[in-house]
A and B are shown apart, each in its own frame.
Chain A
Amino acid sequence: MTTLHTVNKSPFEKSSMDSCLAYAKQGSSVLLYEDAIYGAIKGTAVADKVAAMGGVNFYVLGPDLKARGVSEDKVVDGIGIVDYAEFVTLAAENDKVQAWV
C-alpha cells in the first residue's frame, strides 16, 4: 500500500521529520507543511537527508512557504510545490495518510 506521510514540525526543533523519513518506504510520499516547510529549503543541514531518500516523493505546501516568506526558488530541486487542492489529491491517491504530529 502507498502512504502519504505528513510532517508539520520544523526539523530543527522536533524529530518528527527524522522519524517520518525512517519509516517512509519506496513509492510513498512525504508532504512538508506548516513549520516543516523549513525542511524543504536548499543549503540546510537537513537538505541532504531529503536528497538521500531515493524512491520517495517529496512535496511542500506552497501557501505555508509563502506565509513564511520563503520563495519557491529556495526549495530543494525535486520537491514538488503543491496547494491545498493538490494536498487533497495526494491524500486521495495514496491508500492512507500518516500524520507525524
Chain B
Amino acid sequence: MSEQIKKFMYINRRAPYGTIYAWESLEVVLIGAAFDQDVHVAFIDDGVYQLLKGQDTSAVDMKNFSPTYQALGDYDVTKLYVEKESLEERGLTLEDLMPLTYEDEDDDWAEKDSIRLMSRAELADIMDEQDILFSF
C-alpha cells in the first residue's frame, strides 16, 4: 500500500437489536479490516450493551450477530475500547461482557484480551489522536 496508514476509530454508542446501527457498524469494521489501517473500535454509552454475554435472539426471530465480535481478532482488529464510566452507569463490569481475544503474532501467538477498559479521560485522549472517526 502506497498510501499512509491512518488511525481509524469506529464509535459505537447504540444498543443492539433495537436498531440496526450496531450490526451494520460491525459490518464496516469487518470490511475495513482488509484496508490495513490502524483500527480502533470504541464502545461507549449504550454501545457497551453490544458486547454483553449470552445474547439469544431465538425468541424474537432476529439474527444474533454477537458471535461475530469474536471473529474480530482474526481480522487483526484487536483494539476494542470499552468506556469504564458507561459500564458503571449501567451496573455492568467486564465480567458481564463476552471475552474477546486475539493471538499476538509479535509475542509468540500468545492469546491476549482485545477488550481494553478505559476511563472516559483516557478514551478522550485516544480519540484525540485519531485521523478519522466513523459514527453510526
Chain A residues close to B by CB (< 8 Å)? 1, 3, 15-16, 19, 22-23, 25, 95-101
Contacts and interface: CB of A to CB of B under 8 A. Distances in A.
Given A15-B45, A22-B120, A101 B136 contact: yes
Contacts of B130: 1, 96
A15 B131 CA distance: 25
A99 B44 CA distance: 14
B124 A19 contact: no
B133 interface: yes
A15 B15 CA distance: 14
Contacts of B129: 1
A25 B123 CA distance: 12
Contacts of A98: 11, 127, 133, 135
Interface of B: 11, 13, 44-45, 120, 123-124, 127-133, 135-136
Contact of A100 (B123, B131, B135): B135
Contacts of A101: 135-136
A1 B128 contact: yes
A25 B133 contact: no
The 7 A-B pairs at the shortest CB distance, nearest first, are namely A99-B135, A98-B133, A23-B124, A101-B135, A19-B45, A1-B128, A22-B120
B45 A96 contact: no
Given A15-B45, A19-B44, A101-B136, A96 B120 contact: no
